[in-house]
Structure 1
Amino acid sequence: MLRGLCVCLVLLVPALGQASTIANALPDAELRGEAVFRLFGFPLYKARLYTQTGAPLNWDQEFAIELTYMRDLSGKDLSENTMRELERIGGAIPIGDRLDQCFADVRRGDRFVAVSQGPNRIGFWLNGAPTCTLRHPQIKTRFMAIFLGENTRSRTFTRNLKGE
């Protein structure tokens, strides 16, 4: 029985870490919407949007996106794909080296959290541990538009993530 309890506690710790990451970074945050992103029919990650009090997305307020990976991916792939998406939706920005430092390899079940911290800064956490903070003019709208903008890869995904 004690062994079973220990296993349950070990399984709960990552989830509690994620909840506290968002709660600490955005004290009034509540889940607004969620969606699964698929590429060629294969699920890559489940995304969740947290806004203040669960209100509709307001780009002038702080919010967080949590990605729970459904596949193993390298940090290099995450960085390169992010740079391609940034270029596709609005032109390249010189943050590739920083992304390489921010993004680590992920395994199925790992969770990245990105929390906006004003218009020019985003904090990143992997499984509850801080990985980096990106600073760049308008990084909030540039980076978060990959998931929430008008020109995302999937309008259905974006609508569901926004809770619409």
Structure 2
Amino acid sequence: MTAGDAIRRLSRTALCLALLLAQPALADWRPALQDGRLVGSGDFTWFGLRLYSARTFSPVTPLAWSQPFVLELTYHRSLSRDTLVEASLDEMRRLGGPDLSEATLARWAALMREAFVDVRPGTRIAGLYQPGKGGSFYVDGQLRRQFDDAAFVRGFFAIWLDPRARDPQLRQRLSGLSANDRGE
């Protein structure tokens, strides 16, 4: 074996080791939802601007609140953490109605501020919903925050998945109710 062959072999070994070590960082939510598969996808636009692409993963199609699932958003625009929190609160308030107290909303806002970051094009935020338990939020493949507040987590995911969601077509796609978005 020449010195050049030895260097190439060592380089390949180092590359393989680096890829193996990087794998957990790339795995993000997948170990918690090992049997999850793509259920639906779509884009959210606001006044003609594409803000993010959304995808859902679950062991069942269509999505069911009784089963765990993941909602993953990949942003196409820069938005501040505060903008994300306020927009989420507005929708949670609208969907929750008069029974949702301002004290609860303030507590939920604090939770979201811990979990969210300022986003830029390409930032990926994924939320894992675990029925009756709570959930976890991941930013760019890294666990950011876990929650054991099942009401907060359900209220958050309702923004996209409640029948009264702002974008009924996106809701249908993400829920797996639109055959075209599952490649059928």
Regarding TM over 0.5, the answer is yes
The one-letter code of the counterpart of 1:130 is L
- Structure 2 residue aligned with 1:47: 54
Unaligned 5+ runs, structure 2: 1-14, 16-21, 178-184
The one-letter code of the counterpart of 1:49 is T
Report 1:77-156 matches (<5 A).
77-91=83-97, 92=100, 93=104, 94-156=107-169
* Aligned-residue offset at 1:137: 4.1
The one-letter code of the counterpart of 2:35 is D
The one-letter code of the counterpart of 1:86 is M
In the alignment, does 2:169 pair up with 1:162?
no
* Aligned-residue offset at 1:131: 1.0
3-state SS, counterpart of residue 95 of structure 1: helix
Unaligned 5+ runs, structure 1: 1-5, 7-12
Mapped to 1, the partners of 2:147 and 2:79 lie a distance apart of 21
The one-letter code of the counterpart of 2:85 is S
Instruction: Report the structure number with the largest CA radius of gyration.
Output: 2
Q: Is the 8 A contact 2:44 2:51 kept in 1?
A: yes
Q: Is the 8 A contact 2:42 2:170 kept in 1?
A: yes
Instruction: Tell me how many residue pairs correspond in the alignment.
Output: 152
Q: Is the 8 A contact 2:127 2:135 kept in 1?
A: yes
3-state SS, counterpart of residue 59 of structure 1: coil
Mapped to 2, the partners of 1:45 and 1:125 lie a distance apart of 16
The one-letter code of the counterpart of 1:22 is W
* Aligned-residue offset at 1:157: 1.0
The TM-score normalised by the length of structure 2 is 0.75
Q: Hey, which bits of structure 1, 4+ residues long, moved more than 3 A?
A: none
